[in-house]
Structure 1
């Protein structure tokens, strides 16, 4: 992939339907703790506005997204951001799009004044954990057997990265 082929930009309200289609297609018990979203479900609401999402477009086609937000509404926690969603279209996996989205989320968080960014990832999601590690995230803790997914107990892994030197 050439850098000029990939565009990462903020989501806009008119992206909702295409984003919802990608989100549904990317759904998997490997990465999700809730059942798949129903057909026709949207992505945006008062708790999930478009400005929380960065989109990856390849040749004008939506191929990925990342959602980055403050983890709590507390003033004492406003120096932290959290990734609360990442998806890449299966047809373009392995081309660096996930890494580009994570780095873009980190840069956006830094621009918002954040000193660190955190995320939660399921223990059995080895591909995502490797991606986050390659992007500089380190495991800070885990909740053992936090979820019962598809008949198996799965750990909830907490990872984070400093955004300042």
Structure 2
């Protein structure tokens, strides 16, 4: 039996989920408690607005969230023969440092990908740092010479 459970987050865990996102971002300096809670409220609102266009899974030990993974589902331009086209983008995969190396990250990735499969989403992409590549490859991801990206020439202004 695994010492952790992977599942969808509950609404009463939004502050813990926000804390994981903040830890994932490695902010320096870390936000104060008021800013963190305001971010948690904004994250909860965003999740409500996104509805079924996002999938979030968390790893939980006891009452503590120790990891997260997100899938954002995008509608694509319809083709003549395939009118409903979707793709998924795996984002913000994070496991607290003390729980890394125990299969938590892989369980999170596989849980999110299983939901993509259940929904019939034919392609899931992920952008990774070097240390994450082995995790994604172990879960069936592979590189593609035809998937390119473009960075904006200047930083966008809000």
Same structural fold, with TM-score higher than 0.5 when normalized by the shorter chain:
yes
Task: Tell whether 2:105 aligns with 1:106.
Answer: no
Answer whether contact 2:106 2:139 (CA < 8 A) is retained. yes
Question: Any gaps of 5 or more consecutive residues in structure 2?
Answer: 154-158
Partner of 2:100: 93
| 1:55 maps to which of 33, 53, 58 | 58
Q: TM-score, normalised by structure 2?
A: 0.71
Q: TM-score, normalised by structure 1?
A: 0.68
**Structure 1 vs Structure 2 CA RMSD:** 3.0
The alpha-carbon deviation at position 9 of structure 1 amounts to 0.8
Q: Which runs of 4+ in 1 moved over 4 A?
A: 35-38, 47-51, 73-77
Partner of 2:132: 128
Choose between structure 1 and 2: higher strand proportion: 1
Task: Tell whether 2:36 aligns with 1:39.
Answer: yes
Question: Any gaps of 5 or more consecutive residues in structure 1?
Answer: 30-34, 149-165
Choose between structure 1 and 2: higher helix proportion: 2
SS at match of 1:91: helix
Q: What is the alpha-carbon distance in structure 2 between the residues aligned to residue 78 and residue 36 of structure 1? A: 40
The alpha-carbon deviation at position 142 of structure 1 amounts to 4.2
Distance 1:66 1:23, change over 3 A: same
Q: What is the alpha-carbon distance in structure 1 between the residues aligned to residue 94 and residue 152 of structure 2? A: 20
- Bigger Cα displacement from structure 2, 77-86 vs 54-63: 77-86
